[in-house]
Amino acid sequence: MHLSGQQYPLYWPQFTSGYERVKITTTTPTTMMEMEQHIEPLTRGIVIFGATGDLCKRKLIPALYKLWQKGLLPKGFSITGAARRDPGRGRWIESLGDYPVDFTLLLDYISCDLDNQESLQRLPETDDTTYFLSVPPERYENAIISLKKGGFLDDSETSRVVIEKPFGYDLKSANHLQSVVGRHLREKQVYRIDHYLGKDTVNNILATRFGNTLLEPLWNREYIEEIQIFATETIGCEGRSQYYDGAGVVRDMLQNHMLQVLALVAMEAPCKMDAKEIRREKTKVLSATRLGKKLITGQYEGYREEQGVGPESMTQTFVAGDLYIDNWRWKGVPFHFMTGKKMPFQCVEVVIKLKAPPLNLFEGETNDRIVMRLQPHAHLDIRIDVKSPGLGDSVEEATLTHRYPDWLGVDGYEKLLYDAINDDQSHFVHSEEVIESWRIVDDLLCTGDSCPIRTAPYLYKENTWGPMHKTEMITQWDYPA
Ligand code: BG6
């Protein structure tokens, strides 16, 4: 049991199993019994700003509901939706969909404005509160200042803020936002979401690498020729053009999800599996990462005709290229990446292409590969050459496959909300990781004086792997299938 005193920090030895946050309502206990009489569980809750928005309805409430169903929300947990509009509690709950009455009893709605201190005073007074900012990114700065000013974030042990991506718009704005965050909050209070880090299969990268000794000896420039990372989608921007047209694929996918996957694939083993050590290793590898020179951006044909997109939009819906990690383990190994919308296949996959053996002894040899399919239908493949049956000595490819039971896994937001409520930052992005990621992609955003890519994206047809006459020149892709 973790005890935290209301008036004075006070430690009391564990006497029930499990961890439970409690408050102690006396400062002068004389006996154990007296102490026990003054122990009460902390009241805990989450406040979701932007509660009338899509994210709250589609992801957050369903995730909290699943946690509730599994009995994983703390006792007496409260879920408060907050937004400027005032539909009233009943209408708001109705708008969320069908939930059992017992669950809706946890829900409340407060109409309030993050810019208006008086209205913030209507927020519930829980002892331990997670504030989820599901508001437009340009409001993050004011939101944090305002919550701090209102005294909601004074105790770094019992208050925290969850911030959705994007954290900043480019390196400069991310640095600025971080300076505001750093002035008002301790890093341990800041939970920057990258929903990929909530995916079981993404977290399985570390388990597969470091839970075994099979792969790690090969995992370096001696044995690996090239790594390819794909995050391809068949959908377009699906009615999100208001956001997407201003963001584009580099901000939407590369700066965050793709670089997080890269960091997990390439980082050193942490000395233990806790937030500090994992994030330290990810930061180290990101700080050694830089863009290569083979960078291509594209836009799918028909994008400009989508609702809300201008006829001259230069927004990139596709990017492919190379990244290098200048450290001892990876020097010289290209990390090729491809991400885009309206592609032939929806898939997140990492392909590790091993070097050929020193002698080519067998006819039919191909490079061995380790393939981590993260979604959909996650699996780990090890593709090696084996003797072809028969009289000859030639070889053919065989695939050893482990199918990851992702139907048993949890949704990203379920995992991330559970972790945030329980104060575990392991699967959230540290400020230094965000800044390094922006540094890596900043050139691709072409906001500065020089731009290493053609500013007009190449057009590509729906259902193709981007502008292939250009992307094929980057590498020989192992397109997912
Ligand atoms: C989001 C992007 O962060 O990730 C979307 O804004 C993208 O554009 C989505 O479609 C992909 O997530 P997932 O979980 O479907 O791979």
Write out pLDDT tens, residues 382-413: 999 999 999 999 999 999 999 998 777 787 89
Question: Taking the CB of residue 233, how many other CB atoms lie within 10 A of it?
Answer: 19
- For the record, the structure tokens of 344 come out as 């032939």
Q: Determine what percent of the chain is predicted with pLDDT higher than 70.
A: 94
pLDDT at position 20 is: 61
Q: pLDDT tens across 36-78, in order?
A: 777 777 899 999 999 999 999 999 999 999 999 999 999 999 9
Q: Which residue has the tokens 């935290």?
A: 4
Task: Tell me: pLDDT of 9 over 70.
Answer: no
245 Cβ below 6 A of ligand 1: no
252 Cβ below 6 A of ligand 1: yes
- For the record, the structure tokens of 437 come out as 């990621």
pLDDT at position 15 is: 34
Q: Output the DSSP codes for 284-323.
A: HHHHTEEE-S--EEEEETTGGGSTT--TT----SEEEEEE
Which atom, in ligand 1's list, is nearest to the CA of 199? 14
Q: pLDDT tens across 175-188, in order?
A: 999 999 999 999 99
Assess contact for 318 and 341: CB atoms under 8 A: yes
Tell me the domain boundaries of the chain.
44-193, 197-471
CATH architecture classification, 44-193: 3-Layer(aba) Sandwich (3.40)
Residue among 34, 35, 48 at smallest CA distance from 1: 35
pLDDT at position 17 is: 37
Q: Which residue has the higher pLDDT, 408 or 308?
A: 308
195 included as an active-site residue: no
- Report how far ligand 1's centroid is from the alpha carbon of 293 (Å): 26
Q: Look at the domain 197-471 and name its fold.
A: Dihydrodipicolinate Reductase; domain 2 (3.30.360)
Assess contact for 48 and 79: CB atoms under 8 A: yes
Quickly state the pLDDT bin for 453 (edges 50, 70, 90).
Answer: confident
pLDDT at position 133 is: 97
- Report how far ligand 1's centroid is from the alpha carbon of 213 (Å): 33
Task: Tell me: pLDDT of 14 over 60.
Answer: no
pLDDT at position 34 is: 73
Quickly state the pLDDT bin for 31 (edges 50, 70, 90).
Answer: confident
Contacts of 99 (CB under 8 A, 6+ apart): 61, 65, 93
233 Cβ below 6 A of ligand 1: yes
Which atom, in ligand 1's list, is nearest to the CA of 196? 14
- Report how far ligand 1's centroid is from the alpha carbon of 42 (Å): 35
Name the residue at shortest CA distance from atom 6 of ligand 1.
252
Tell me, rounded to whole angstroms, the distance of Cα 13 from its chain centroid.
36
Q: pLDDT tens across 272-297, in order?
A: 999 999 999 999 999 999 999 999 99
- In one letter, which amino acid is 33? M
Q: Determine the Cα–Cα distance for residues 47 and 81; give it in Å rounded to an integer.
A: 6
Residue among 309, 297, 318, 342 at smallest CA distance from 461: 342
Q: pLDDT tens across 104-157, in order?
A: 999 999 999 999 999 999 999 999 999 999 999 999 999 999 999 999 999 999
What's the mean pLDDT in 426-434?
97
pTM, whole model, 2 decimals?
Answer: 0.91
Quickly state the pLDDT bin for 7 (edges 50, 70, 90).
Answer: very low
Q: pLDDT tens across 331-341, in order?
A: 999 999 999 99
Task: Tell me: pLDDT of 1 over 60.
Answer: no
Q: pLDDT tens across 204-242, in order?
A: 999 999 999 999 999 999 999 999 999 999 999 888 898
Task: Tell me: pLDDT of 3 over 80.
Answer: no
Which atom, in ligand 1's list, is nearest to the CA of 256? 3
C-alpha dist (Å) from residue 27 to 9, 30, 38, 128, 223? 10, 10, 9, 20, 62
- For the record, the structure tokens of 183 come out as 């002035």
Task: Output Rg (C-alpha) for the chain, integer angstroms.
Answer: 25
